[in-house]
Every structure is written in structure tokens, then in C-alpha cells.
């Protein structure tokens, strides 16, 4: 049995709940068992939550689901780059795959809906492929 965990950003809770449902469906198709789901306030908290989850020897991989919208400043872009860099570092230091299901940074409202399903499913498939 292959166990995974998922970190969900709660800032766009309704959309992320839909992504989580799609991720659960994809995990079942890929014979992955989701043993824990953690909700965090936003993208900035994702790396810490992932780090805590992948320290658990029972967790073979993890995914993160979220949305980083385009704002009126460069804050989202800077944060997104820092978060993605941290996620890559976590993969390399833990040798556990982390599926990226974060839409953005720089997502406009019209970009979000068509990306919910492909990003959620791809995050789970990436874990399966890398295991």
C-alpha cells in the first residue's frame, strides 16, 4: 500500500475542496491511499505543512493544492517563487515526491476554473510516477 498526504490552501476554500475531491478520485485510480489532509491558511504555509507530513515514515509522497492569484503588486509572484523553491528543496532532501497542484502564481479569475481538474489530477499522477 502506498500512502500519501495532501496539503490544501484554504484561501480559496470552495475551489480547493473541489480540487481535493478530484485528487481523491485520481488517488483511487492510481492505487494511492490518502492518509492525511492538512488545511493551511495559504501558500506561504504549504512548505512547513509538507515538511511535517513527509517526515512521517508512513507517508511515501505528498501533494499540495492551492491558488496564487495575480494581485496588484508582485507579492504573489515573489511568494510563489519562494514556495516552489521550498517544495523542490523538500523533495530533494526527503527523497519523497511532492505533486504540485498550485494554480499560479499570477492566476486571473478566468484561469482558475479550467485548471482545477488538470492541476489536481496531475499533482497526484506526479507522485505515482515518481514513486
25: number of CA atoms within 13 Å, CB side?
11
Q: Which domain holds residue 55?
A: 2-130
pLDDT confidence band for 80 (50 / 70 / 90): confident
4, exposed or middle or buried, with CB in 10 Å at 0-12, 13-18, 19+?
Answer: buried
86: domain CATH number is: 3.40.50.960
Give the separation between CA 53 and CA 114, rounded to whole angstroms: 29
Flag whether pLDDT at 72 surpasses 80. no
Q: What is the pTM of this model?
A: 0.95
Could you give the number of structural domains in the chain?
A: 1
Please identify every residue annotated as catalytic.
75
Task: Kindly report which listed range (68-72, 82-86, 109-113, 121-125) carries the lowest average pLDDT score.
Answer: 68-72
pLDDT in tens, 93-124: 999 999 999 998 888 889 899 999 999 999 99
pLDDT of 26: 98
Amino acid at each position: 500500500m502506498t500512502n500519501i498526504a495532501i496539503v490544501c490552501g484554504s484561501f480559496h476554500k470552495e475551489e480547493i475542496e473541489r480540487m481535493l475531491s478530484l485528487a481523491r478520485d485520481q488517488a483511487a485510480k492510481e492505487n494511492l491511499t490518502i492518509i492525511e489532509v492538512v488545511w493551511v491558511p495559504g501558500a506561504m504555509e504549504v512548505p512547513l505543512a509538507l515538511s511535517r507530513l513527509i517526515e512521517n515514515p508512513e507517508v511515501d509522497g505528498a501533494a499540495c493544492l492551492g491558488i496564487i492569484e495575480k494581485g496588484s503588486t508582485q507579492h504573489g509572484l515573489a511568494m510563489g517563487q519562494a514556495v516552489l523553491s521550498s517544495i523542490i528543496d523538500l523533495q530533494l532532501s526527503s527523497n519523497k515526491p511532492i505533486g504540485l497542484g498550485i494554480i499560479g502564481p499570477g492566476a486571473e479569475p478566468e484561469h482558475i476554473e479550467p485548471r482545477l481538474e488538470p492541476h489536481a489530477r496531475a499533482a497526484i499522477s506526479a507522485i505515482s510516477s515518481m514513486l
